[in-house]
A and B are shown apart, each in its own frame.
Chain A
Amino acid sequence: MTLDPIKPAFDPVTLAIPLFVLTIVGEILLRRFRKVKAAYETRDTATSLLMGLGSNIAGLLTGAAIVAVVIWVWQHRIFDIPMTAWWAWVAIFFIEDLTYYWFHRLSHERRFWWASHVNHHSSQHYNLATALRQTWTGGVAGTWLLWLPMALFGFPPAMIAIQKGISLVYQYWIHTEAIKKLPRWFEAVFNTPSHHRVHHARNARYLDANYAGILIIWDRLFGTYIPETDEEPPRYGLVKNLGDFNILRVAFHEWIGIGKDLAGSRSLREVLGYLFGPPGWSPDGSRETSATLKAKWLERQKAEGEAEAAPPMAAE
């Protein structure tokens, strides 16, 4: 059997579109009849779905150039990895998932890439429609470069595309409040609705956590895993939520913010800090980053813990 190493035999995301529609309809109807936990606000839902549609169109604009670069790199590959070998699929499953982890972590911890990813987190809801609130500017931001080493190593472009699609489809179904927890063995190994709710939370304790694509093991390995707790339910959205449902604002607000900051920069340090520092970085530290928010939260926790632990005042 031969498989075209350039053109994917199938696109998992395209094949999954009917599944996306059916499951969103299902989640809405089940919530309507009070069978599951979920919330859908009409304009929020429209924004999420239009962002998904726009993402497809934006992908068309940059897709051809990206594919051309991947093919060119693969033509200079180090090894020949056959698409028909089972071990190649096992290998790409783990390697692609590890690549996704670092792409996702970079997309949260460095502002330049956060600017293209922030829209996915801009809904204050967490439902299956939120999963489709995808980036319009990922191609321009260049995060796809992280997958190039796989092509250089020898994985055929078609194989990379298929595995990326499988990962994206896997990550769709975890955007729900309808599923609370899955069996312990599954929660230990795989990314789940519970793990990903933490990732979408804006609570200080949950910030910058659970970057996994399919396997949560990477977060456990690299120290970014935080479990969901019943005592503090996730609140979804951004640390500073958007002021309206305008999809152009959803897509571009952080880029505009970067532009404004760069226009006011007075040194190379400021330029680099605004571009590649963590989101919220400012020269004088007057803005909040995830790290400062977490530190303040920890301080409050400590102070509250000490207050609770203090012995009661003796009655006179």
Chain B
Amino acid sequence: MNALLTQLIGSAVAVAAMVGLAAWARIPRPTLPLDQQTARDLIDTDYPGYPINAVWIAADGLGAIARSGDHALVLAQLGDSWVTRDMAWEAAVASPIRGGRVRLRTPDPAAPNLSLAVSGVTPWPPQRGPEAPESLIAA
């Protein structure tokens, strides 16, 4: 029992040391804030064949919502990687804003909550203006 406990404690210390080393090394994949084309490319990777009408980019560039007909294709950054989910466009438009972020709920237990930054310049849902194509404007 003692040997087992020693092994577990030793493993926990080793885990902490390796995580600390990974943080110190700063070697994640390089990621830049999204632009329209990058967002489209990333969404197309997970949703090939879905026609994209228009894309809304989050205020901090760490996420996007693309409109594809009646679907919203949501892209959110996770660490140095990306997560995508689709939901009904109407549900995405109706998602609440709290703490400067639009809170998107999905029925998928693997990613039940995704949130993207909004601002006065990039409000959600998109408002009529030069930055928002007609297809993104909430009815």
Q: Do A and B bind each other?
A: yes
| Contact yes or no, B18 A249, CB < 8 A | no
Docked Cα-Cα span, A242 to B29, in Å, equals 18
Smallest beta-carbon distance A94→chain B, Å: 31
Count of B residues near A, CB < 8 Å?
39
Query: Are A300 and B48 neighbours in the complex by a CB distance under 8 Å?
Result: yes
Which chain B residues border A254 with CB–CB below 8 Å? 110
Report B-chain residues with C-beta under 8 Å of the C-beta of A31.
25, 27
Interface-centre pick from B11, B12, B45, B107 (highest chain A CB count, 10 A): B11
Chain B CB within 8 A of A14 CB: yes
The reply to whether B110 and A242 form a contact with Cβ atoms under 8 Å apart is yes
Dominant secondary structure of chain A at its interface with chain B: helix
Binding site for A on B (CB under 8 A): 4, 7-8, 11-12, 14-15, 17-19, 21-23, 25-29, 45, 48-49, 76, 78-85, 106-114
A28 contacts across to B, CB distance below 8 A: 18, 21-22, 25, 27
Question: When the two chains form their complex, are residues A243 and B76 in contact, meaning their CB atoms are under 8 A apart?
Answer: yes
Q: Of A45, A124, A125, which one neighbours B18 at CB under 8 angstroms?
A: A45
A49 within 8 A of B: yes
CA distance A49 to B20 in the complex (A): 12
A45–B22 touching, CB < 8 Å: yes
What's the least CB distance linking A52 to chain B, in Å?
8
> Which of A35-43, A76-84, A98-106, A187-195 lies at the interface?
A35-43
Across the interface, do B83 and A242 meet the contact criterion of CB distance under 8 Å?
Answer: yes
Given contacts A21-B14, A49-B19, contact A241 B48 (CB under 8 A): no
- How long is the Cα–Cα vector from A43 to B23 in the complex, in angstroms? 9
Q: Does A129 contact B (CB under 8 A)?
A: yes
Q: Return the chain B residue nearest A118 by Cβ.
A: B110
Quick one: which of A224-272 are within 8 Å of B by CB?
235, 237-238, 240-245, 249, 253-254, 256-257, 260
**A–B Cβ pairs within 8 angstroms, 28 of them:** A21-B14, A21-B18, A28-B22, A31-B25, A32-B25, A32-B26, A41-B28, A41-B29, A42-B79, A44-B81, A46-B15, A49-B19, A50-B15, A52-B15, A53-B11, A57-B8, A124-B79, A124-B82, A129-B22, A241-B78, A241-B84, A243-B76, A243-B78, A243-B113, A243-B114, A244-B111, A297-B48, A300-B48
Q: How far is the CA of A193 from the CA of B102 in the complex (A)?
A: 41
